[in-house]
Structure 1
Amino acid sequence: MGQYWVLINLDKRQSLGGHLGKIQEIIYNSPHAALIPYLVVPTTPVDPSVRHAERLGSWAGDRLIFIGDYNKKDCYPKGVLTAEETEEFKEEGLYHVAYDWEKAPTMRLPRDAVAFAHDKVWVVRNLSKRIYARSDAFGTAAKYMRGPEATKGRSLADIVLAVIHWSTHGDRGNFGWGRCAGDRFDICVGDVVDREEGWNDVSEVVAEQVREMWGECDVYDDD
């Protein structure tokens, strides 16, 4: 039958729209693209009148995990859960407990907002490990890029899911454990990592992992 997956914010005790479906459904429908507005750090303040303005960037720096419902109830990334959370999840498992948490609504960024500069390369940063990947890592055609988002093809949200998936039962080959499950992330303009020391660019490695797990994107060339 295949397992269902849910994208969870452990700190906010929220899930992104409830369960996102099975892997094949997620690949073709991309509901996880709505993660980008929750992680984005605007380049300038956002007008409070913008819809969902208070939610923009509200997950930045929180522990995130993309977990399958087949996962064993006592198996989680080492050091991610607190003692209280470990106790809380031991009976039903994290997936089933989190299913009753608040379901954060899916949303998109304001299309033409200056705060989400379309002329910049954006990056997703793993704040826990001080690594990052660029939005142009896939070679997606520029006409499909809208600042940190993509209107077609793979995006920064695919990078995050590719490294935070977690289940003791794999789907699509090795789709079982992600090396960054439970880590903290944000999305910002690439200028930020250029100005700061101590960041390691893992774009090529992560892009290959995304292609292996999500499949090839058909919008690479800009003809």
Structure 2
Amino acid sequence: MGQIFYIACPSAQEVLPAYGKLGEFLFSGSPRSIVEVLAVPVRPVILALAAELHYLIFEKLDITDSIGRRHIQTYFMSFLGPWAGKRILCVGDYVEAGDHPPGLFTEDEERSMENKEKEEERPMTLANWAYVYATISVKFPTTLFTQLLSKNYYKQYCRMSGSDRSEVRKIVNPEFSQFYPKDQPWILRNLKTREYVRSDAIALRPEYIHGPNIDVIGFGEVVLSRICWSSDPSVNIDGRKYNRNIHRGIWAGHCFDITTRAQHEERVNEEWKDVSEEVAKEIANIWESEYGDDWRRIVMEGHRH
């Protein structure tokens, strides 16, 4: 069958729905789900609301006027990037008991694990823990939008112009894209090592960049290629072109986020290292091992189709 890998956040006791043999799902597009849990939202520009829209949203719906639109944005932003700043890894199910990256667990977490092992009367591996973690799904609640479409408010909503209805929907039923501007450069940050990777260094073409999301090869593939952890090197990837220790990822158990370059420069004072070129070369070696010397043309043609 082969070794199966799971992307997990132990402190949250959650796993991503994407899993499989590393040599299959690394190249499948599945790693983009990592971006969803790491991307830090940017607050959209707040525009003035027409009086009728303000009345419907802040007085008719179950929201007090003191909350305001900014607080609604804060509410929705709280559901985005749930793993940003938390320790994550991609664990293989051939991992042995007691084998985990240094610093992965706090003392309290280790005590909890020891107590669980006593209850189970058997040693627990990282994979055993991943099996019982909840599957995370990044999505917005629909409470406000449901209220809007209820019989108490729907007639008033329907009487609005198309542009006003669109504005109301943006507030009470927003799209993820509203919080991830595409006109700003984004970076992936390793918060433990203070290293970052630029989107323009990873993207095969500039037009593949859509804010934190990058077509074909993006931040998700970068993270996954460096956070794997197992006692067994079986990864279903040809190791002649890359470091065979991909199963002992140098970033396994580290904390990450994906943020705009502007937010990074605004909030940090200490020195950070740009490892974009190093990571891009590593990614190129892995993809060449899978597709051959002409790997760029092959994967881009696959994207077009």
Q: TM-score range by the shorter chain?
A: 0.7 to 0.9
Deviations 1:8-40 (A, max 9, x none): 0111110011x6111232033222211112111
How many Å apart are 1:210 and its aligned residue? 2.2
Identity of aligned residues (%): 29
| Equivalent-residue separation in structure 1 for 2:208 and 2:91 (angstroms) | 29
| Residue number in structure 2 paired with 1:30 | 29
How many Å apart are 1:190 and its aligned residue? 1.4
TM-score (norm 2): 0.63
Name the Cα RMSD after superposition.
2.8
Deviations 1:145-172 (A, max 9, x none): 210002x311111111122111121222
| Residue number in structure 2 paired with 1:10 | 10
| Residue number in structure 2 paired with 1:182 | 253
Which moved further from structure 2: 154-163 or 195-204? 195-204
In structure 1, stretches of 5+ residues that fail to align are none
| Residue number in structure 2 paired with 1:67 | 91
Q: Does 1:168 align with 2:239?
A: no
Which moved further from structure 2: 8-17 or 52-61? 52-61
How many Å apart are 1:121 and its aligned residue? 1.5
TM-score (norm 1): 0.84
How many Å apart are 1:214 and its aligned residue? 4.4
Name the SS of the counterpart of 1:34 in structure 2. helix
Deviations 1:65-121 (A, max 9, x none): 1111111122111222233265357713111221111101267x94642x2111121
Q: 1:47 to 1:103 in 2, by over 3 A?
A: farther
Q: Does 1:129 align with 2:193?
A: yes
| Residue number in structure 2 paired with 1:57 | 81
Q: Does 1:93 align with 2:125?
A: yes
How many Å apart are 1:47 and its aligned residue? 8.8
Q: 1:164 to 1:193 in 2, by over 3 A?
A: same
Q: 1:44 to 1:181 in 2, by over 3 A?
A: same
Higher strand share: 1
Higher helix share: 2
Structure exhibiting the larger radius of gyration computed from Cα positions: 2
Q: 1:34 to 1:116 in 2, by over 3 A?
A: same
